[in-house]
Amino acid sequence: MIRIIAILGGLFFAVAAFWALGVGAYTAMTVETEETVEHEFYVHPKDVSFSSDGPLGTYDRAQLQRGLKVYQEVCAACHGMKFVAFRDLGALGYTEPEVAAIASQFQVPGVDPTTGEPVLRPAVATDYMVGPYPNDIAAAAANNNAIPPDLSLMTKARHDGSAYVYSLLSGYGPIPAELKAAYPDFETPQGLYFNQYFHNLNIAMAPPLTAAGQVTYSDGTDATISQMSKDVTAFMTWSAEPKLEQRRQTGFVFIGFLIFATILAYMSKKQVWAGAKPKKRKD
Residues in contact with ligand HEC by the rule CB under 6 A: 70, 74-75, 77-79, 143, 146, 148-149, 151, 154, 158, 165, 168-169, 203-206, 208-209, 232
Whether 86 contacts 106, CB under 8 Å: yes
Nearest residue to ligand HEC, using CB? Answer: 75
Between 124 and 157, CB nearer to ligand HEC: 157
Between 27 and 190, CB nearer to ligand HEC: 190
HSE at residue 178, side-chain half, CA atoms within 13 A, is: 5
**Pairing mode of beta strands 128-129, 107-111:** unpaired
Shortest Cβ 169–ligand HEC spacing (Å) = 6
Shortest Cβ 200–ligand HEC spacing (Å) = 8
Shortest Cβ 46–ligand HEC spacing (Å) = 14
Between 73 and 88, CB nearer to ligand HEC: 73
Burial label for 47, CB within 10 Å (0-12, 13-18, 19+), is exposed
What angle separates helix 225-240 from helix 161-169, to the nearest 10 degrees? 150
Output phi, psi for 216, to 5 deg: -95, 115
In the annotated binding site, the residues are: 75, 78-79, 205
Shortest Cβ 208–ligand HEC spacing (Å) = 3
Residue 249: other Cβ atoms inside 10 A: 12
Between 84 and 209, CB nearer to ligand HEC: 209
Instruction: State which amino acid sits at residue 154.
Output: M
In the annotated binding site for heme c, the residues are: 75, 78-79, 205
Between 123 and 201, CB nearer to ligand HEC: 201
Shortest Cβ 37–ligand HEC spacing (Å) = 17
Q: How far apart are the first and last CA of the chain?
A: 43
- Closest listed residue to residue 134, CA positions, set 147, 124, 152, 122: 147
